[in-house]
């Protein structure tokens, strides 16, 4: 037996930095958090605008910058809080490995491995470092590194690569590379690199920000030219008015609110024992319309138990199985169940063994003078034996996992073996599986069970938990790729599925236009999990499965998934509403900027006025309403709905201000009074837009909106001098009241016209 390194040698390597340091892939570093929150394009614009305001000594109009500071600080604090929560959870799921040091087996974390360590690799593990096989043999799937889909046999002297995973066997290996020197690190392996998540929410927000980024500089320059050169305003007035327009155009709180909302969701999910390894996958899961479930460990508890065995011929069952479990005492759930049912024996001389793998679906031991005993699926070992197949089918229909024991006395092929007996193994169904499946059906999510087990067993269990069309099962081992692609779209129950087939099935569903979530816990699920839009692993599953998944269920209970879906919907629905409110300000600011340039008129706001209005119409209410339950089904129309809500309101506000400009010209209204009219009318219309955007109205929503309107009114009265508000004359008061009432009907008309225009474009 290998003695491995001594503790002194381990410490020397740690001191020399020869340790398997791994980069965290779940959270960003503190440096990255500060950098990404502080150094943004819009922060840069706001700093420039703030400096301009300071230069002309209009200090009260620089109040907007403190809102930017607050957003940045809260964003940093919230992301750090989220990071700390995730990092604590990551410790719970961190992979550990058996090492031999000072001749004694012990367990260490994979980031505590040092160069030349002797590690023990077993089925289901993801290989943490490049190594050489010293003793034993394994099969390693290197598809995530090399593209080779077939497992590769690794015997004494063979090298194994970090990032690949063990599909069968056990071996002692010597670590030859650690940390950044590993093969996987050098090629930025897909096994280690977290896939970029396709997020409709992120994409939509980026589109909004790009459009505004393109507009803001030329519009700002034209506005300044208009104010300073055409209208011959003072430098102070020109800068203040230009800054007001640009501040209005910037949706400074949108990215902040999105980041905070997602960070809070991560913390809420953590309380439900759910580790989210990528923020935006919460949103994607909320959009899923097909859920692919692995039977073992997901629908069932994954705790196998041998119920009974049946002989086909006279032989010593206990003797053969006792020696079998001596060789395969550890491994998958089936091996564990057999080890618990049959006492280990040493009265047969085992000269060779063949480990179980998901591709072969059998394992074997070769006994001196007796031949090779095979243990595996009836359809694989005895595809033409009607008696065996009927027996296996009968037990499978009762919900048992069935394995057959056979022997080949000539040691030539498993297909020539003689059936000896049958073993029935039972896996208990999770008590909450039925309710979880029912929830997904209620949300129009189609559920499909994809398993490596006998399709009859899979169908029996699927029927018990309420999977639709469970009686129409499919044996994937009898289908070619084209047939499999067609079947996965039409059928729901699949058995005898190989790892490669699982990936093909996910791909076929995606090409059919579905958003696919996949659950799994074994190495045979890894390829499909990597392919799925959202991958969900059980913490009790293999290292490889947890490493490639978007979400890890820390207590291995998939009944948490409905909560994840609801959380995703709450975030998306509330951010979409918040986006509409931010776009209202951006919309009317752009419209007014263009109008004032065309009409060669003064921009109608001061920065302080827009800052106060935005605070009570957008900043505070959207933040408070972000926590409200909003579990309605979502679609891919994030931008359409956001603009549908925003543009009519922006147009109505712009028209009110334009009317104010016309009034001031015709009736010679003082500039201070018309400026007050613009601020008051905008404040009323903007806060009233909340009623339309946050429909259907609830008591909580109404109370928040009314509170904001009252607080805005109080601010206008108490701080009128600071904000730049003066009393309106009687005609302007009447106009404000009349236009506010009229705006309700205008809003409805414009929204209907918007919908008709969209429908016409579709046709």
Q: Which residues are catalytic?
A: 294
- Residue in the structure block whose two tokens are 């979502």: 634
In sequence order, which residues have a C-beta less than 8 Å from that of residue 255 and are 6 or more positions away?
40, 42, 205, 209
Q: What is the largest CA-CA distance in the chain?
A: 113
Q: State the Cα–Cα distance between residues 6 and 3, nearest whole angstrom.
A: 8
Q: Which residues pair with 132 in a beta bridge?
A: 159, 174
Tell me whether residue 74 is exposed, middle or buried, using C-beta atoms within 10 angstroms of its C-beta: 0 to 12, 13 to 18, 19 or more: middle
Number of Cα atoms under 13 Å in the Cβ half of residue 126: 28
Question: How long a stretch of residues is the chain?
Answer: 763
The angle at the Cα of 440, spanning 435 to 445, to the nearest 5 degrees, equals 160
Q: State the Cα–Cα distance between residues 49 and 43, nearest whole angstrom.
A: 10
Nearest CA-CA partner of 25 in 267, 190, 176, 183: 190
Identify the DSSP state of 342.
S
Which region holds residue 310: left if phi is over 0, alpha if psi is between -120 and 50, else beta?
A: beta
Give residue 428's Cα distance to chain centre.
Answer: 29
For strand 165-175 and strand 534-538, is the pairing parallel, antiparallel, or unpaired? Answer: unpaired
Q: State the Cα–Cα distance between residues 238 and 246, nearest whole angstrom.
A: 12
**Tokens standing for 433?**
């599986």
Separation in Å, CA 589 to CA 248, 684, 688, 709 = 5, 16, 17, 21
At 471 the three-state DSSP class reads: coil
Q: What is the DSSP string of 268-313?
A: HHHTTTEEESSTTHHHHHHH--EEEE-IIIIIEEEEEEEEEEEESS
**Tokens standing for 641?**
């709905």
Phi and psi, residue 439, nearest 5°: -60, -45
Q: Which residues pair with 553 in a beta bridge?
A: 274, 538
For residues 35, 39, 42 and 43, what is the CA-based torsion angle, rounded to 10 degrees? 100
């Amino acid at each position: 037996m290998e003695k491995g390194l001594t503790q002194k040698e381990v410490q020397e390597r740690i001191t020399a930095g020869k340790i398997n340091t791994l980069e965290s892939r779940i959270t960003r570093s503190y440096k990255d958090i500060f950098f990404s929150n502080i150094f943004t394009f819009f922060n840069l614009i706001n700093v420039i605008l703030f400096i301009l305001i300071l230069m002309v000594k209009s200090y009260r109009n620089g109040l907007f910058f403190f809102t930017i500071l607050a957003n940045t600080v809260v964003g940093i604090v919230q992301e750090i809080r989220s990071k700390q929560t995730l990092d604590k959870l990551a410790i719970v799921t961190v992979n550990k490995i058996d090492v031999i040091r000072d001749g004694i087996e012990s367990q260490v974390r994979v980031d505590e491995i040092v160069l030349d360590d002797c590690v023990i690799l077993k089925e289901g593990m993801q290989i943490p470092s490049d190594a050489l096989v010293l003793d034993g043999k394994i099969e390693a799937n290197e598809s995530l590194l090399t593209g080779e889909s077939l497992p590769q046999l690794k015997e004494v002297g063979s090298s194994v690569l970090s990032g690949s995973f063990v599909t069968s066997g056990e071996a002692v290996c010597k670590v030859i590379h650690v940390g950044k020197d590993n093969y996987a690190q050098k090629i930025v392996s897909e096994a280690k690199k977290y896939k970029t998540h396709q997020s409709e929410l992120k994409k939509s927000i980026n589109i909004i920000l790009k459009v505004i980024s393109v507009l803001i500089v030329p519009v700002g320059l034209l506005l300044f030219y208009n104010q300073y050169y055409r209208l011959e305003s003072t430098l102070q007035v020109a800068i203040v008015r230009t800054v007001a327009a640009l501040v209005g155009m910037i949706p400074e709180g949108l990215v902040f609110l999105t980041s905070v909302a997602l960070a809070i969701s991560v913390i809420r999910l953590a309380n439900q024992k759910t580790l989210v390894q990528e923020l935006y996958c919460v949103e994607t899961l909320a959009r899923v319309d097909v859920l692919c479930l692995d039977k073992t460990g997901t629908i069932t508890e994954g705790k196998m138990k041998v119920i009974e065995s049946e002989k086909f011929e006279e032989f010593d069952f206990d003797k053969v199985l006792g020696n079998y479990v001596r060789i395969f005492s550890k491994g998958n759930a089936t091996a564990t169940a057999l080890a618990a049912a049959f006492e280990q024996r040493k009265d047969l001389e085992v000269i060779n063994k063949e480990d179980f793998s998901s591709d072969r679906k059998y394992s074997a031991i070769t006994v001196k003078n007796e031949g090779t005993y095979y243990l595996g699926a009836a359809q694989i070992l005895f595809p033409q034996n009607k008696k065996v197949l009927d027996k296996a089918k009968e037990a499978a229909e009762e919900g048992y996992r069935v394995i057959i024991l056979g022997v080949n006395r000539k040691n030539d092929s498993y297909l020539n073996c003689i059936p000896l007996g049958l073993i029935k193994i039972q896996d208990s169904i999770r008590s909450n599986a039925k309710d979880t499946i029912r929830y997904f059906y209620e949300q129009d999510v189609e559920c499909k069970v994809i398993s490596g087990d006998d399709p009859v067993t899979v169908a029996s269990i699927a029927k018990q938990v309420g999977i639709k069309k469970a009686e129409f099962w499919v044996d994937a081992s009898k289908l070619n790729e084209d047939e499999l692609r067609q079947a996965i779209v039409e059928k729901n129950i699949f058995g005898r599925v190989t790892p490669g087939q699982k990936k093909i099935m996910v791909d076929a569903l995606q090409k059919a236009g579905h958003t696919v979530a996949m659950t799994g816990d074994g190495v045979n699920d890894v390829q499909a999990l990597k392919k799925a839009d959202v991958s969900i692993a059980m913490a009790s599953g293999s290292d490889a499965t947890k490493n490639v998944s978007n979400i890890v269920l820390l207590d291995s209970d998939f009944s948490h998934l409905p909560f994840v879906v609801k959380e995703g919907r709450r975030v998306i629905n509330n951010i979409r509403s918040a986006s509409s409110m931010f776009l209202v300000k951006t919309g009317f600011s752009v419209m007014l900027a263009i109008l004032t340039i065309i009409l060669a008129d003064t921009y109608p706001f001061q920065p302080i006025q827009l800052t106060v209005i935005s605070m009570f119409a957008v900043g505070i209410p959207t933040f408070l309403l972000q926590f409200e339950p909003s579990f309605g089904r979502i679609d891919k129309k994030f931008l359409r709905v956001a603009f549908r809500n925003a543009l009519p309101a922006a147009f109505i506000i712009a028209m009110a201000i334009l009317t104010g400009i016309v009034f001031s010209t015709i009736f010679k209204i003082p500039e201070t009074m018309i400026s007050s009219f613009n601020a008051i009318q905008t404040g009323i219309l903007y806060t009233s837009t909340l009623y339309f955007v946050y429909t259907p109205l609830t008591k909580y929503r109404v109370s928040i909106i009314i509170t904001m309107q009252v607080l805005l009114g109080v601010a206008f009265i108490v701080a009128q001098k600071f904000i730049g508000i003066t009393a309106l004359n009687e005609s302007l008061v009447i106009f404000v009241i009349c236009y506010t009432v009229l705006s309700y009907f205008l809003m409805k008309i414009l929204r209907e016209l918007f919908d008709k225009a969209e429908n016409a474009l579709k046709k």
